[in-house]
Structure 1
Amino acid sequence: MAALCLLPFALVFFAFQIAPLLWVAVNSLQTADGWSLANFTRILESRFYRQAISHSLQVSFWSSLFGLLIALLGSYSLHRVDSRLRDFVNAFATMTSNFAGVPLAFAFIILLGFNGALTLLLRQIGWIEDFNLYSKTGLIVIYTYFQIPLGVLLLYPAFDALREDWRESAALLGASTWRYWCHIGLPVLTPALVGTFVILLANALGAYATVYALTTGNFNIVPIRIAALVAGDINLDPWLASALAMLLVGLMALITLVHQWLLRRSYHAAR
């Protein structure tokens, strides 16, 4: 009976998750000459596509790291403030976690573009000189912005695992705040931190609308290359696009396996 109740979910999951993935995997092995690994070989031998993979990994890694650190501090602060302010910030984070894509790109262009309001103000003060929103650094800034609310939503519940009497006991035994976080706080939060980082990384690796609206497709990252190969008028090659997509799937699978390995090590160390 329980299996029958899960059947609708299994059908929807297969139709919208497994079947598209299988279709992309099959198409990644197709070429004009038949079945082969030529698409993957072409990607790995091309400096252009290797650069796209490198840019995607760099932007995703640094934006996820910065977003995680800021979300960690924000989530901890939420546990120390009044409940009304906490509820407001949680509601605001829920709203801004969906503020991405084209509206976010236009908002940053108005604020931090070459003639943006904040850019002109900071340049007049002397804090910045040659900041370029449309560069890799600019993309890291804008990606970090939409990573922070998602990180807060994911990390905030994890702080419920930290009991206040642990801090008090550590203080009574002479442990400093630094030693408490190194030996108690951070080890308890490690699974949540690693899991959140993996989700933020996946969120950044697949982002398309924001970078496309910001750079009109001129910045070389994997989602832009996939879209150009699928919908482009000059370089139309859906088989190569499928191979690029499978490389992203492989990267995320590898990161997830590392995540699971770290969780197992953390669990065994805790025991």
Structure 2
Amino acid sequence: MRSTFRGKWLALLCLLPFALFFAVFQIAPLVWVATNSLNAADGWGLGNFTEVFGSPFYRQAIKHSLQISFWSSLLGIIIAVLGSYSLRQVDSKLRDFVMAFSNMTSNFSGVPLAFAFIILLGFNGALTILLKQMGIIEDFNLYSKTGLIILYTYFQIPLGVLLLYPAFDALRSDWRESAALLGASNWQFWRHIGLPVLTPALLGTFVILLANALGAYATVYALTTGNFNVLPIRIASLVAGDIFLDPNMASALAMVLVGLMTLVTVVHQWILRRSYHVTR
């Protein structure tokens, strides 16, 4: 009994540095941002949030951020699912190479990624000119919302593959064989067995991809030099004072981002609980 008690205290002492780090670098900044978001020009209150949701400019930033994040996350997870499943079927050497490449490209973002896409898909990009000469496209604007969705999707795919690949270990090969022996088609196997088993991993990965896209700043800033209206760009401009300095409004916009992610997480947990009860 005494050794168990001592072991628990030792575990708590080992956890103390992490708890201190988490409090200083996660909780304290969040509390600071939440407090300053309530500090409006006319005093303490919800004035900053009233201005955010009453301004067409800020509403457009929220809309663009949600649209780009949703579509890039959806496209990214679809491609990642197909890629992860395909990797389970190929030779181990090729699989290891693709996983190592995914690990590397998941960190390829920011200015280098924006520069690479400008060279390939800019107005005079190599791939853009080639596709125009082949008659596949007439015009393409990388610096538009569609272009940003393509750019975001690129760095979502490797992260999605890294997160989803281990989830396919839960699908045992004998399940498919048993389903086939019982007369189940391929679609029936995925409808009743495969997708329910993968649902928690799919939803969790989608939430992570959504958060990854909502908070992306360096890539979109390097590509558009801060001229595209999304929430991270607006927050940075208010903090840096490119137009005018208003850290309290930046804090309000940051809390809007926190609120959006909280809402997505709550919905994610609700869907998980519902799917768990249905499968039972």
Settle same-fold status: TM greater than 0.5. Answer: yes
TM norm structure 1: 0.99
- Alignment partner of 1:232 is 2:233: no
Q: Which residue does 2:262 correspond to in 1? A: 253
Q: Which residue identity is paired with 1:22?
A: V
The CA distance in 2 between the partners of 1:43 and 1:235, in whole Å, is: 16
- Alignment partner of 1:33 is 2:76: no
Taking only the aligned residue pairs, the percentage that are identical comes to: 80
- Alignment partner of 1:141 is 2:150: yes
Q: Which residue identity is paired with 1:115?
A: N
**2:69 match: secondary structure:** helix
Q: Which residue does 2:250 correspond to in 1? A: 241
The CA distance in 2 between the partners of 1:15 and 1:60, in whole Å, is: 29
The CA distance in 2 between the partners of 1:138 and 1:33, in whole Å, is: 40
Deviations 1:186-225 (A, max 9, x none): 1110000000000000000000000001001110000000
The CA distance in 2 between the partners of 1:155 and 1:252, in whole Å, is: 21
Q: How does 1:46-61 map to 2 (within 5 A)?
A: 46-61=55-70
The CA distance in 1 between the partners of 2:275 and 2:187, in whole Å, is: 20
Q: Which residue does 2:177 correspond to in 1? A: 168
Q: Which residue does 2:137 correspond to in 1? A: 128
The CA distance in 2 between the partners of 1:44 and 1:31, in whole Å, is: 14
Q: Which residue identity is paired with 2:92?
A: S
Q: Which residue does 2:162 correspond to in 1? A: 153
Q: How does 1:4-153 map to 2 (within 5 A)?
A: 4-153=13-162
**2:128 match: secondary structure:** helix
Give the Å deviation of 1:270: 2.2
Deviations 1:156-194 (A, max 9, x none): 000000000110011111111111111111111000000
Give the Å deviation of 1:33: 3.0
Give the Å deviation of 1:38: 0.2
**1:203 match: secondary structure:** helix
TM norm structure 2: 0.96
Give the Å deviation of 1:138: 0.1
Deviations 1:5-44 (A, max 9, x none): 2111100011111111000000000023321100000000
**1:60 match: secondary structure:** helix
The CA distance in 1 between the partners of 2:272 and 2:24, in whole Å, is: 30
Q: Which residue identity is paired with 2:179?
A: A
Give the Å deviation of 1:4: 1.7
List runs of 5+ in structure 1 lacking aligned partners. Answer: none
- Count of residues in Structure 1 that have an aligned counterpart in Structure 2: 271
The CA distance in 2 between the partners of 1:131 and 1:22, in whole Å, is: 43
Quote the RMSD (CA, aligned, Å). Answer: 0.7
